[in-house]
Amino acid sequence: MMTSIRNKLILAMLGISLISVVLIGIMGYKKGSSELVRLGRERLTSIRIAKQAHVEKSLEELHSRTSYHADSFTITESMVKFVAAFEELKAKTITDPEFSETKAWYENEFVPEFEEHEQKLPQLDPLLPASTAARYLQFRYIVKNPHPLHEKRKLVSCEDGTTYDEVHKAYQEKYDSFLKSFDYEDLLFFHPVTSEVVYSTLKQIELGSSFETGPFARTKLAQAVRAVNQAPVKGQSRMIDFEWYVPAFGHPIAFMICPVYKNDKFQGTMAIAIATDNFNKILFADNQDKFPGLEKTGDIILFGDDGYMRSDSRFLMEDSSQYAARLRSSGISEEIVSKMLNYDSTIMILPVRPENAKLTFERKSGVGEFENLFGVKILASYSVMNVKDMNWAIVATLGMDEIYQGVNEFLNIALIGGSIVVLLSGILAAMAGRAIAAPARQLTQAAKAFSNGFMSVRVHVNSHDEMAELAKTFNAMAEEIENRTRNYKAKAEESRRLLENMLPMPVLARFRTNESRNDDTPYQTEATLAFVEIEGLDRLVSDFGAKKADSLVKELVTRFDAAAEKLHVEKLSSTGSGYLVACGLTISRFDHTPCILRFAQELLWQVATFNAENITRVYLSIGVHRGGIGTGKIGRHAFIHELWGRTIDLAKEISEIEGKSAIRVSREVVDRVGDHTRFEFVRDEIGTEEPAWTLIH
């Protein structure tokens, strides 16, 4: 029995299609599985690296801020006053009824709040204030404080006529605002000799207590304070890891401490309390999308070398009851689960698997497959962090089932698609035959050439069927894409030239470097800019003539350049009467704002000297502004419109004042250095859009 060519073609196409589908399915499944794991490893590692860099930078900035605070005029002056006033309180007396009332407050207020989280206080008596000064302070500022238990900080004065109360009245509201602005928990001052708490903004039960011999002498904070008091180093801040802190009603608290000096003499130790929420904010940067790339089963956490978490799990944040149920079903004790729910946190409560923590600190960094607390297989990218004083690690995880979910879906789609392909192959073989092979081959070759960049390729089919229509459609599409691509390149090149003409060369070089590296990092550095407008050039020309005036202006600009070089300020541009500089733009500096202000003050002195030497009347309008510098195209836009533009506006608005040099700064500059003893500002009314201040000292 003879078989027709049509049937042979159908059988051949069916066989080839079936074999191809099976082979592609098997190879695709294996390749897809390995590729998904590879992509998962890369994704988790990139997420972990980005988060780790942000946390390390944030904690480094926290150290710098702590040292900066400790060196501020307000802190140094108040520390000296509080220590002296505390010494006077040691001569005070407290009656037995007053002490009995203090003990009753502990029993009726502190203990119930402490035990609300299912913690039993072993003994109350050791917590009671022992010294006369401690009893006096706690009775006046805690027990007799009319505000609720968690709002004792609102008391400004107890009106007892003591020197301590006068000092407290002068600083309490300032420090309360200070804590809120930086999202700190509490501010503590320690006596330089006895390690007694001479001041607390929050007014908790450590007020007045000795951290040498008192009830909290064994805490990590007490050990660190004693070490600082014994060997203080000016400007050296230290971070104290989380511990269960009794005065904070048993909550886990971390601290930043730093010695306070005045006139190179050690005055005491400052401690800043940091609550658990702060580290969640640092880790997640307050983003709405806190877990990008982690899908449904991924998580990212910090943990210490003791194995306990230093940040909250995303699953607790999303659904605490469901998370608790999963922990119970995986064998976690009810005591731990209840404690987690009571504190609404996993910090210092929930551990990672001990073997995982041990391996992390042994290997320092890596990626691998592990089992989590629930006994579920996960892929994890981990690393020990480079954080001063802390032995912490960070890990980003993703469930293996979710990683393989894509390839399982691919397998189902491949089976359905393969069946359809086999069926269609037979139908197409019967209907098309040899006639479709030639034009189809032409279309295939043209499409490959087009995808490889040969946009001028076109298909020529000498027929009048659907293949001809397909060829025409392909040709029209190719021509449209080619035209649009050409237009897009022309517009992109035009935009680039315009932007390059606008940006100063040092800034442009930086942005080009970031773009060439495809650097899309969301994090920013900060810089301070100053724009100097030279006023009185018309008068200079009328008095001396154009040639002499030009020579004098060049001499003045030369002095500006020398001042910039001396103070390590970056000159960005100098055109006509304008002079633009920056600090912290090319080289990151913590003190870029004070540096620019010192430069501006130097220019006022230079122009005054210039006027005296040349008998001229030249004045300067100087605008100073600080802000973030991003990367890529968005970074260029922000630099031009927000940072550079605002700086020039500040200087231009000064020109309304005739015959007087001035330095005008933005709110961001005042917020940064407003507490600095070298600079004094006064609010002015020049301009209408945004508030500004004039530097008067």
For 11-26, what is the mean pLDDT?
70
pLDDT mean over 167-195: 94
For residues 302 and 280, what is the distance between their CA atoms, to the nearest angstrom? 9
Tens of pLDDT, residues 512-552: 565 555 555 544 578 899 999 998 888 888 888 888 988 99
> How is the beta sheet containing 186-190 ordered, strand by strand?
197-200, 186-190, 265-274, 252-262, 238-244
554 CB-contact burial (10 Å; exposed 0-12 / middle 13-18 / buried 19+): exposed
Annotated domain spans of the chain = 72-233, 505-695
Which helix (H) or strand (E) is 578 found in, with range? strand 578-583
Which band of pLDDT confidence, cut at 50, 70 and 90, is reported for residue 448? confident
Closest CA to 142 of 220, 91, 197, 90: 197
- Is the pLDDT at 219 greater than 70? The verdict is yes
Whether the pLDDT of residue 5 is over 70: the answer is no
What average pLDDT does range 292-306 have in this prediction? Answer: 84
With cut-offs at 50, 70 and 90, classify the pLDDT of residue 79. very high
Q: Which amino acid is at 381?
A: S
pLDDT at 287: 52
| 49-58, 79-88, 652-661: which is most confident | 79-88
542-580: pLDDT as tens digits: 888 888 988 999 999 999 999 999 999 999 888 878 899
Identity of the highest mean pLDDT range in 172-186, 266-280, 494-508, 622-636 = 172-186
Question: Per-residue pLDDT averaged across 50-75, rounded?
Answer: 92
Q: What is the pLDDT of residue 647?
A: 81
User: Which residue in this structure is represented by tokens 């990590």?
Assistant: 220
Please give the pLDDT value at position 4.
59
pLDDT (0 to 100) of residue 634: 43
Q: Which CATH architecture has domain 505-695?
A: 2-Layer Sandwich (3.30)
Averaged pLDDT for residues 495-512: 53
Arithmetic mean of pLDDT over the chain: 83
CA–CA distance, 396 with 384 (Å, rounded to integer): 12
pTM: 0.57
What's the pLDDT score for residue 181? Answer: 92
Q: Where does residue 582 fall: left (phi above 0), alpha (psi -120 to 50 degrees), or beta otherwise?
A: beta
Sort strands 392-399 and 299-304 into parallel, antiparallel or unpaired. Answer: antiparallel
Q: How far is CA 100 from CA 97, 278, 646, in A?
A: 5, 37, 61
The pLDDT, as a whole number, for residue 106 is: 93
Cα dist from 475 to 91, 405, 623, whole Å: 98, 39, 58
DSSP secondary structure code for residue 353 in this structure: P
Query: 326-364, pLDDT tens digit by residue?
Result: 888 888 888 888 888 888 889 988 988 888 888 999 898
Give the pLDDT of residue 77.
95
pLDDT in tens, 234-246: 999 999 999 999 9
